[in-house]
């Protein structure tokens, strides 16, 4: 890694363990909807909602008294099966993605005034700072989030924890500055 006055450049070849751990992290986040509040709300909010729907069907006379327990059991089982299927599908998707060769080979990263550039022999991605939602220091990796995508950098590219934290602070400041510059009043298109 080299840095010159807030410009960082380094190359990374990801190890299989790093790609596997990253894949598990992202799969877990996607399986719970990126937001644990939404996950818990869906999990604990859907159960009473199913019960209320069953009660409503009973009160409207759509189902008889004897049919209420089997209808509720069937509804709960369908909900649990759908939730488990979604979770397993997300995990399978990221397992397949992890096995792909996309993370293999050397990746070259450049962090500068305009944003981030990362590329390998087949992919070339340029991100402006305003496109990046957040940077997270997870200790073992530094994770950049933009939309539904992520870029991760293993902590081993930094000389020590202080260098990693300084890098995260510098990039977080650039992300914040870019977000604040986008909050200005709407500009009229030039005539």
Q: Is this structure's pTM higher than 0.85?
A: no
Q: What is the DSSP letter of 184?
A: S
User: Mean pLDDT in the chain?
Assistant: 80
Q: What is the pLDDT of residues 107-130, one digit of tens each?
A: 899 998 889 998 888 888 899 999
Report the distance separating Cα 164 and Cα 156, nearest Å. Answer: 9
What is the rounded CA–CA span in Å between residue 37 and residue 172? 24
36: helix, coil or strand? helix
* Structure confidence at residue 142 (pLDDT): 92
Name the CATH code of domain 2-14+104-181 (choices 3.40.50.720, 1.10.645.10, 3.30.310.50, 2.30.29.30).
2.30.29.30
Domain positions in the chain are: 2-14+104-181, 25-99
Question: Quick check: 175 and 168 in contact, CB under 8 A?
Answer: no
pLDDT of 2 reads 47
pLDDT number for residue 78: 86
Residue 106: C-alpha distances to residues 24, 101, 122 (Å): 22, 11, 11
């Amino acid at each position: 890694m080299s840095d010159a006055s807030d410009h960082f450049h380094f190359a990374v070849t990801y190890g299989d363990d790093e790609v596997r751990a990253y894949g598990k992290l992202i799969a877990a986040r996607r399986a719970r909807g990126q937001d644990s509040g939404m996950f818990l709300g869906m999990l604990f909010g859907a159960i009473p909602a199913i019960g209320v729907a069953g009660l409503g069907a009973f009160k409207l006379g759509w189902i008889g008294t004897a049919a209420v327990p089997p209808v509720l059991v069937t509804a709960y089982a369908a909900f649990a099966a759908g939730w488990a299927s979604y979770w397993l599908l997300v995990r399978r998707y990221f397992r397949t993605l992890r096995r792909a060769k996309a993370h293999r080979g050397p990746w070259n990263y450049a962090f500068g005034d305009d944003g981030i550039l990362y590329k390998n022999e087949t992919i070339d991605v340029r991100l402006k700072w305003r496109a990046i939602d957040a940077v997270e220091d997870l200790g073992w990796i530094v994770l950049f989030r933009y939309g539904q995508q992520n870029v991760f950098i293993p902590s081993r590219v930094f000389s020590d924890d202080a260098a990693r934290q300084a890098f995260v602070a510098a990039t977080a400041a650039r992300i914040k500055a870019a977000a604040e510059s986008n909050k200005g009043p709407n500009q009229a298109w030039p005539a």
